[in-house]
Chain A
Amino acid sequence: MIVLKQKPLEWILDAVKNYDSVLIVGCNGCSGIYQVGGEKQAEAMKLLLEMASEIKLKKNLEVETCTVLRQCDRDLVASSLRPLIRRMKGHKAILSMACGVGVQTISEIFPEIPVIPGCDTLFIGMRTKEFGEFYEFCRACGDCILFETGGICPVTRCAKGLLNGPCGGMREGKCEVDPERDCAWVLIYERLKAQGRLDLFIKFRPPRDHRITIGPRVWRGE
């Protein structure tokens, strides 16, 4: 999933200060599942903004909320937001609680309205064992090698993104960059060993074709 975190309230308050009405748009996709910007967080943000604008900005900000199932879905966003936007008064802005894709989906559909990102999009990853701890798992490299690496992505989880690791810095299974974190290549070795596929560990992987990831990336389907 996309891992994100809310921007500080002061930042958001500063961004909304010149508007009369703000529509907070939550997303029940990644953002909601990780309780960063789903329905509940959108409601909580409404209360916070109303209170903070009254106390700090000394004005009555009109705040509405609307949460869509997935903010990266154009059709869903268009149909749920259109009637609400029409009702908004004065200087309007939208505060998106989704990832950068959600923010841009709204912007594309309603180009006349400024959209404020309420979150910082961090990476594609997941929550590991511990609550509130998220790790990056995929860099969307466009040429997935997970089958060869025991389901552990070295492009993302090795600090150097090595295709033929580990490097000489590995220390007792830990990464040279952060001794708290496992060396991805040791994990790969252990996983492949357990699967009886160490031949894949020895396999040489030639350098990547970086043309695949030169942006902006477009996929036109097949």
Chain B
Amino acid sequence: MKRIYSRLMEELLSGKFVFTAEIEAGKTTSLDKVIEAAKMLKNYVTAINITDNPGACAHMNPLVPAYVIQRDVGVEAVYQITCRDRNRIAIISDLLAAAALGIRNVLALTGDHVTMGDNPEAKPVFDLDSASLVYLIRRMVDEGVDLAGNKIEGEVKFHVGIAANPNAMPLELEILKIERKVRLGIDFIQTQCVFDMELTKEFLREVKKFNVPVLVGICPIRSIGMMKWYIKECPGGIKIPMEIQERLLTARERRGKKGVLEESIEISAELIKEIRKTTSAAGVHIMAIGFEWVIPQIIERTGLKC
């Protein structure tokens, strides 16, 4: 029997449709925004991811907001860790701190390259990669040792998740990459944003054999510029079907900027309902950085949360 350390894991295994969201720590010395966003999302989502220097931009250490939203807001955190900025010693050290602070969900990521960020002159680390980070966490949790086999005092209780991209081409490569990590032992998958239901369904069919709960990424689109960025520039590549592009463009023509967001809330809710109805996904992970207030609206519109 699998040991369960977090509410997220419990709900993922319960068969209940799970919602998670994402907040950035920000380049700030204040926790106010994070706390405010977490309070707003608390009744809608099971857990909130806190990003780790997203897009290679130097933000507040995510462990602090992850801890604070658990303690002060009472909503569980998914602590994201990338391999870009710290070597294995620093990562082990952060994981020990996270365990001590009661963090129970960790998302293991490689991290965008430093050249993409706001301090592009930095030295990239990548001592570990997302797979060896999973391997490290497994050793800590299962064997109570660090990467080199040194004994850790006390229990380490983490569930480890990974990211995946249903839009990735070729899909076979993406699936093999996931399989590599499944063999190491992962607890959940959170995906990149999807807009294309055909790709999403195919992806979910392929990963079903791994028997790992998948939270499908949903990104409401704020503007036509953001839509274009997804199509042309976003790392990893995102496919937006013509039909959705046209709906957003028409909304912009008829109802202006606000119309785009309204249409996008509607599209997000439709996608979620479709995912719920036709796939084996365990839930969805909604990313709306900087406009988190749309998340409750989207979830309400799906009618899936009572």
Residues of A within 8 A of B (CB): 159-173, 176-177, 186, 189, 198, 201-207, 210
Contact = CB atoms under 8 A, between A and B. Distances in A.
Interface of A is mostly: loop
B129 A163 contact: yes
Contacts of B116: 169, 176-177
B113 A177 contact: yes
Contact of B179 (A173, A202, A205, A210): A202
Contacts of B109: 168
B180 A164 contact: yes
B98 to A, nearest CB: 20
Contact of A202 (B127, B135, B170, B176): B176
A171 B135 CA distance: 26
Contacts of B163: 168
Contacts, number: 90
Given A168-B163, A171-B236, A176-B235, A204 B135 contact: yes
Contacts of A164: 129-132, 177, 180
A159 B113 contact: yes
A207 B125 CA distance: 12
B290 to A, nearest CB: 21
Contact of B126 (A161, A189, A198, A203): A161
B162 to A, nearest CB: 10
B277 interface: no
3 closest residue pairs by CB, A with B: A164-B131, A169-B235, A171-B237
Contacts of B40: none
Given A168-B165, A204-B183, A204-B184, A162 B176 contact: no
B112 interface: yes
Nearest to A186: B173
A168 B192 contact: yes
Given A165-B129, A168-B192, A201 B236 contact: no
Nearest to A176: B235
B296 interface: no
6 contacts: A163-B129, A169-B116, A176-B116, A204-B135, A204-B180, A204-B184
B147 interface: yes
Contacts of B179: 202
A170 B235 CA distance: 7
Contacts of A167: 110, 129-130
B30 interface: no
A160 B110 contact: yes
B173 A207 contact: no
Interface string B177-200: 101100110000000100000000
